Structure 1
Amino acid sequence: MFAEVIVDIPAAQVNRPFTYEVPENYQFSIDIGMRVEVPFGSRQLMGIVVKFLPKIDPALAGKIRPITRLLDYQSFLNEELIELSYDMTEELQTFHITVLSAMLPSMLKVKYETVFKLLDSAAYQSQLADWRLSSEIFETIPRESLEAKLSAGQIKQLLDAGIIEVEYRVLNQARKKYIETIQLAQPVDVLEEALAGLDGRSHKQRDLLSYLLEHAAELPLASKQVLEATAVSRSTLKTMAEKGWLELAQQEVYRDPLAEQTLHKTQARPLTEEQAAAYQAILPAIENHEPKTFLIEGVTGSGKTEIYLQLMERVRQLGQTAILLVPEIALTPQMVGRVTGRFEKGVAVLHSGLSVAEKYDEWRRIINGDASIVVGARSSIFAPLANIGLIIIDEEHETTYKQSDNPRYHALDVAKWRAKYHQAPLVLASATPSIESRARGEVGNYELLRLTQRVNQRPLPPIEIVDMTQVAVQETLNEFSPRLQAAIQERLAKQEQVVLMLNRRGYASSILCRECGHVMQCPRCDISLTYHKAEHQLKCHYCDYHQGVPSTCPNCQSHYLRTQGMGTQRIAETLQELFPEASVVRMDNDTTRRKGQHRKLLDTFGRGEADILLGTQMIAKGLDFEKVTLVGVINADTSLSIPDFRAGEKTFQLLTQVSGRAGRGEFPGEVIIQTYNPDHYVMQLVKDHNYEGFFYSEMQRRHLTNYPPYYYTSLITVKSKHQGKAMRRIYDIKTQLARPEWLANDQLHILGPSQGAIARINDHYYYQLLLKYKQKDAIHAGVQEVFAKIQEDAKQGVYISIDHNPLQFI
């Protein structure tokens, strides 16, 4: 028996399966998708089994090397995911092992170590008499230990003499969790006699044995739990084990990512007329196994989540499984709470806020069939569920569903592939669908379902646009207009809650010298450093460079330094000055780095222990708090002027989403948006909650400029520490792609070459080409040629990335 294995080297030369013999003792254990250790040249590498071959060409007999060992005894990638990996490798112009690795939980990504294997111990010690082998060293010596004692030349002499040899080892990081448990080792009647025979001095043994006999039906129990309940020491436990009364054992357990979360049981709610219509439209596709795609365009608060829950309930009744994707980690606690509150058991959670070990255990629960519903962020789309009956993508417009580095997949594309494979419906939902999705709904590629009313029949909150150009002329404090300040004060007086959004973290966007105009720049990137007051540091949000704040200008030595711009830190400080009685919770990347902080901050606000929730875009979506009656946007222009054809769309979506956090309960809500561009078409359409008007307006702009959904796009980016090399390579690529047959009849448009929006990041210079084309086949061959030379380019210090349908241009 032979296996085809993709080895763990992301390189063009080995971007294909290699054949290995399966040793006889592994033939009944090995499976598709398992990780194995294989010899590759002089090294041992991790590989993933993608196919079995019953026989091979007789001419190769005796030349095929065997698999060294199995790293797993269960497969983490089923046959469906292996098949998907082939298609993704072809579509995304990437390496097969890169795709397979992206599908695995982090704990299954191996590390490698180099050791020196001792071949001749006597010769080794005779040459190194001053360094005898310690008792810990048997047959191998860690590389670091040997290199600390010997020079490279001495090591080479030992290698040449055959005294030592280099060995490369695969380090498997996968670790299961075990707890110690207690079980009775004798029949109950025997132990009752032993209990009666204990003398008065053995009261601890008496307490422990009495407890175990009382809870005999619940055994085995965790020893930690028993010791806490009886206040008995471990020495007593060991004594009783030595007497043969009880047995101690190690029991494997799953790590529970929801252990600290209080879950509230919920019941299915009666559906409104619009909800019921959407539910009934999707239900036949589940029951008849139709891989249709539905787009729910529902205003904020229209009850989309209840539709998801009732559809998933039907899927479970049919014995099938479901995936629910959410875009932000901040949304996950609330969504997980609703799903687990409805289904209690059988829900797995997968998102970046979990520890590596928790993700590993959740993955194993899915594989073992202990979870039938998966809730999580982008990578959850690879959950190895069998018999999928429904896939849901909440807030489908969000850019976080697109992976920003290799492999640059979009969860929506993967979801479509898996839905087709399982003959299951795919449900997309948003208050502000992406222009591409809404266009597909318009022409019938997706079935469009509309929810125009909130479930509580409350109207959408009125939105007021405040012109900050006028405020800046009249006021010295320009973070808050008098209108927003008065509205916050009014809510605080009524003991209602406020949500404030500013999509920029830090204290100030930069530090400026008032003497010479110098702005503190990152030395590695062409961008200013952001001031973080709490740490008294200047930080680059692109390369993570940071430094202390200088006391004088590095350009002119002036002491006249001042901050300009504003971030969430500064706004939090201003809020405390303006409203000293208010409690403020700040949510941004700086306050939510630690595990579980998202949930803790939201729980604090949800319990009413804070009056104001201040944050970046992570607070704009999905959050549902009944007492929030005011939403304020400090500066609505942060995403409006970025060099991206989707800038208007992203701004409209963000403002609409955050506006939807107001007035979701019994109290009416209000939204105040501060902007320096009050007459911009996006602001006017947001004010009227006019998504339809925005969609048709945006479609006209896209048609005039040949952008999606009328054209596909691909972004080719070249970066290098040598600006000249990067520039030459991007021009070569344009020459290579600008073929007359592709440029004819408007089939292909090439924009650029141009410098990146930020020309230098982390000492690398960026140049890019944007391709716009009607048919994917028109550019596939040319882009494949570019991809084929990626390895060769990398050797020259030039790195090329290919991003199809890019969502980020910086």
Structure 2
Amino acid sequence: MYASVIVAISNKNVDRLFTYKIPEHLEDKIQPGSRVFVSFGPRMIQGFVVEVKNDTDLDPSKIKPIQKVMDVYPVLTKELIHLSKKLADYYVERHIKVIEAILPAALKMKSRSVLKLSDDASTIARETFKKFDDEKIDVKLLDMNDLKQLMPFINSKEIIEEKEFSQHTKKKTRRGIESNYLDIKPSSRAVKQIELLELVEESGPLTYEQIEEEGYSIGVINALVDNGFCKKIDILVERDPYEGRVFYQDEKKILTPEQQHAFDKIKKSIDDDTHETFLLHGITGSGKTEVYLQVIEEVLNRGENAIMMVPEIALTPQMVQRFKSRFGDDVAVIHSMLSHGERYDEWRKIREGRARISIGARSNVFAAFQNVGCIIIDEEHESTYKQNERPYYHARLVAKWRAEYYNCPLILGSATPSIESYARSEVGVYQRLELTERPTEQTVPTPEIVSMVKEREDGNTSIISRKLDMKIRDRISKDEQMILLLNRRGYANFLVCQNCGHVPMCPNCDISLTYHKSNNSLMCHYCAYEEPMPTKCGACGEHDLSLRGTGTQKIEEILRDTYNVDVVRMDIDTTRNKGAHEKLLSTFEKENIPILLGTQMIAKGLDFKNVTLVGVLNADTILNLPDFRANERTFQLLTQVSGRAGRGDVEGEVIFQTYNEDHYAIQFAKENDYRSFYLREMEYRKLARYSPYYFHVLFTISSEYQDRVIKAASDIHTVIQKDVSNRSILIGPSPSPIERIQNKYRFQIILKYKSEPELFKVLHELDNKYSKEYQKTQTSLRIDVDPEYIM
């Protein structure tokens, strides 16, 4: 038998399948999706089996054998193998890079699979195991006969497979004891020792914590060890990111007529085993999550699994709370703030069928289920679902492909759907389900617009308008809470010399440095360059330096000084550490902190009953970006954050502070009128020939040498122009909006097209060419299919 293997080398020259012979003793072991060690040139490297076949057209005498197998069970399902190839083709990516994106990081490290006895292994299993080893068996050292002996106990879970990692991730163990299985017992007077020994022999190895929970002291444990009845061991325990958390049962709620209608439509798709994409368009607070929960319950009752996607880590704590309270241990959680070990353990729970629901951000779309009953993407419009590093996949498209494979519904939920999704629902590609009311008597607050131009004309130079100031003081006096949004981190936007006008710039990027007061430094938000705050101008030497603009750090200081209250600030700087999101949100809620201040991460998904005021300190921060989605993102952000107010018994209020009060994105957000915004925005998209009227590909060419960038950009433009039809539109080459990042000059070309059957062939050829070109000139080409940002 032979295996087609993709090797773990990120090089375009070897981005293809290689044929290896499967040794006879491994024929029962190797399946599609298995990780293997193969000889590749002079070295041994890791590979993934993509296909197993009985024969080959190649000369068998020249085919190398597979050397080792790394797992008892394949790490990739057949569906995920198929998906990885589809993704690689569409997003112009190396196949191995996609496979590595699908799997948890722990599996990409040096690791080995070992077999261990489970706690409830039978006597026969223990005796069989001890023929090989007392503690653990290295899977790679087993031959076919060994596996035949062990396989019945592996299938019955009496012998379990574990991973041991040599990088970053270590086994999590706890001290415990196991019986030496002697034929004698402690003295009849040592009642506690006899009881504990019987418990250990009946239950298997126990940790000290488990023993103490049963009421036995450390002295009893030591007596059994000292007298030879038991021995101390390290017991491998599964890493649980929610260990110690208590989740109280959440009862199923009665659906409103609108919710019931949406549920019935989705249930019909589930019952009929048909794939449909539903756009669940519901205003903020309309109960989309309850629909998700009841749909998932329906799926679980059929013996199937569910994938639940959320856009931000900040949303995960409250969403996990709802799902854990409803479904308990059936829920696995996957997001980037988990350690490598925790992510691996959650992934393994999914793969082994011990979890039936996975919740998480973008990478959760690859959850290793083999029987998916529904996929849900909450806040489907969010840009975080698009990966901004290779491979540049969009989770929404991946979810659609997986839902088609399993003939199950895909549910896209949002109060402010992406223009593309809503357009598809208009023409019947997606089925739109509307939720126009909140389940309770709560009304959606109507925001009030405050012109900061008029505030300045009236002599108020503060970032807080007089109207918002009055509302903040009122909420503090009533012991109510508020959310204030400023989508700009740091203390001040930039530093300027009052004498000569010099602004300190990043030496690596064409962008001004942002002042951060917490460490008294100037920082670049693109390359992380940092330098101490200067005492004099770097150009003229004068000391007349002034900070301009305002970020969340400065606002936090102003709020504390002005109102003499505590403030919880949430931005990238305060949420770097593991668990920071949940800790900050918990502090805000449980300690009833008056003000939650943050960037866009606080604009969605949060549900606090005591929040009665939302203030947007500058509604224009996204509006002025040089990107065709700027208006859409402004509307979405304002609408989403407005929905955080008035979710309890007290009616909420919202204030937008802006310098562009007449802009349609702000006016329609005030009216909470998505459809009018959609129709107006579509007019501009059609006029400018942007999505959804056209598909896009963004080419970004970069090099440390400007002349090389210009030459390569011209060459790429010529190739594309020659190979696409005149119905398509090419913009550029031109400098990127930020021309230099990390000491590399950047030019870009935008391709707009409706139908180009040969386009992806051309894209792969360009990628191949510039993969080789990079080796010679260090000039790189980034091809972003369906880009989220044109910047």
Say if 1:173 and 1:597 are closer, same or farther in 2 by CA, change over 3 A: closer
Q: Is 1:804–2:788 an aligned residue pair? A: no
Residue deviations 1:104-133 (CA, integer Å, cap 9, x gap): 101111369xxxxxxxxxxxxxxxxxxxxx
Q: Is 1:763–2:762 an aligned residue pair? A: no
1:274 is displaced (CA, Å) by: 0.6
Partner of 1:197: 189
Equivalent-residue separation in structure 1 for 2:538 and 2:781 (angstroms): 36
How many aligned residue pairs are there?
A: 737
Equivalent-residue separation in structure 1 for 2:349 and 2:422 (angstroms): 36
Equivalent-residue separation in structure 2 for 1:174 and 1:687 (angstroms): 49
Tell me the C-alpha RMSD between the 2 structures.
Answer: 2.1
Residue deviations 1:208-253 (CA, integer Å, cap 9, x gap): 555566898766431244358768558x645523534335555443
Q: Is 1:783–2:775 an aligned residue pair? A: no
Q: Is 1:690–2:673 an aligned residue pair? A: yes
Q: Is 1:268–2:227 an aligned residue pair? A: no
Q: Secondary structure at the match of 1:380?
A: helix
Provide structure 1 residue ranges, at least 5 long, that are not aligned to the other structure. 113-169, 199-205
Equivalent-residue separation in structure 2 for 1:760 and 1:666 (angstroms): 51
1:770 is displaced (CA, Å) by: 0.4
Contact 2:535 2:543 survives alignment (8 Å):
yes
1:557 is displaced (CA, Å) by: 0.7
Partner of 1:742: 724
Q: Is 1:592–2:575 an aligned residue pair? A: yes
Equivalent-residue separation in structure 1 for 2:572 and 2:596 (angstroms): 14
Equivalent-residue separation in structure 2 for 1:171 and 1:782 (angstroms): 41
Equivalent-residue separation in structure 2 for 1:611 and 1:233 (angstroms): 47
Structure 2 residue identity aligned to 1:3: A
Q: Secondary structure at the match of 1:62?
A: helix
1:185 is displaced (CA, Å) by: 5.3
Equivalent-residue separation in structure 2 for 1:460 and 1:217 (angstroms): 59
Say if 1:172 and 1:564 are closer, same or farther in 2 by CA, change over 3 A: closer
> Of 461, 473, 483, which residue of structure 2 is paired with 1:499?
483
Structure 2 residue identity aligned to 1:783: L
Residue deviations 1:606-636 (CA, integer Å, cap 9, x gap): 2143111011100001000000000001111
Matches within 5 A, 1:272-291: 272-291=256-275
1:24 is displaced (CA, Å) by: 3.1
Matches within 5 A, 1:292-307: 292-307=276-291
Equivalent-residue separation in structure 1 for 2:393 and 2:333 (angstroms): 21
Equivalent-residue separation in structure 1 for 2:765 and 2:716 (angstroms): 10
1:546 is displaced (CA, Å) by: 0.4
Partner of 2:356: 372
Residue deviations 1:480-523 (CA, integer Å, cap 9, x gap): 01111110110011111000111111111111111111111100
Partner of 1:620: 603
Equivalent-residue separation in structure 1 for 2:784 and 2:246 (angstroms): 41
> Of 602, 615, 619, which residue of structure 2 is paired with 1:632?
615
TM-score, with structure 2 as normaliser: 0.90
Q: Is 1:534–2:518 an aligned residue pair? A: yes
Equivalent-residue separation in structure 1 for 2:395 and 2:497 (angstroms): 45
Identity of matched residues, %:
45
Query: Could you tell which deviates more after superposition, 37-46 or 684-693?
Result: 37-46
Equivalent-residue separation in structure 2 for 1:698 and 1:492 (angstroms): 39
Residue deviations 1:332-382 (CA, integer Å, cap 9, x gap): 111011011001121110001111110000111111110110000011111
Partner of 1:384: 368
Structure 2 residue identity aligned to 1:463: P
Q: Secondary structure at the match of 1:344?
A: helix
Partner of 1:561: 545
Equivalent-residue separation in structure 2 for 1:729 and 1:22 (angstroms): 45
Contact 2:5 2:49 survives alignment (8 Å):
yes
Contact 1:111 1:173 survives alignment (8 Å):
no
Equivalent-residue separation in structure 2 for 1:809 and 1:537 (angstroms): 30
Contact 1:505 1:588 survives alignment (8 Å):
yes
Partner of 1:76: 75
TM-score, with structure 1 as normaliser: 0.88
> Of 409, 422, 426, which residue of structure 2 is paired with 1:442?
426
Structure 1 residue identity aligned to 2:355: A
1:73 is displaced (CA, Å) by: 2.6
Contact 1:351 1:377 survives alignment (8 Å):
yes
Q: Secondary structure at the match of 2:676?
A: helix
Structure 2 residue identity aligned to 1:620: A
Q: Is 1:319–2:303 an aligned residue pair? A: yes
1:56 is displaced (CA, Å) by: 2.5
Equivalent-residue separation in structure 2 for 1:47 and 1:186 (angstroms): 43
Larger Rg: 1
Q: Is 1:27–2:34 an aligned residue pair? A: no
Matches within 5 A, 1:357-368: 357-368=341-352
Residue deviations 1:295-351 (CA, integer Å, cap 9, x gap): 011000000000000000010000000000000000011101101100112111000
1:55 is displaced (CA, Å) by: 2.2
Say if 1:319 and 1:229 are closer, same or farther in 2 by CA, change over 3 A: closer
1:77 is displaced (CA, Å) by: 1.1
Contact 2:197 2:224 survives alignment (8 Å):
no
Q: Is 1:91–2:99 an aligned residue pair? A: no
Say if 1:219 and 1:39 are closer, same or farther in 2 by CA, change over 3 A: closer
Contact 1:583 1:609 survives alignment (8 Å):
no
1:43 is displaced (CA, Å) by: 1.9
Equivalent-residue separation in structure 2 for 1:312 and 1:482 (angstroms): 47
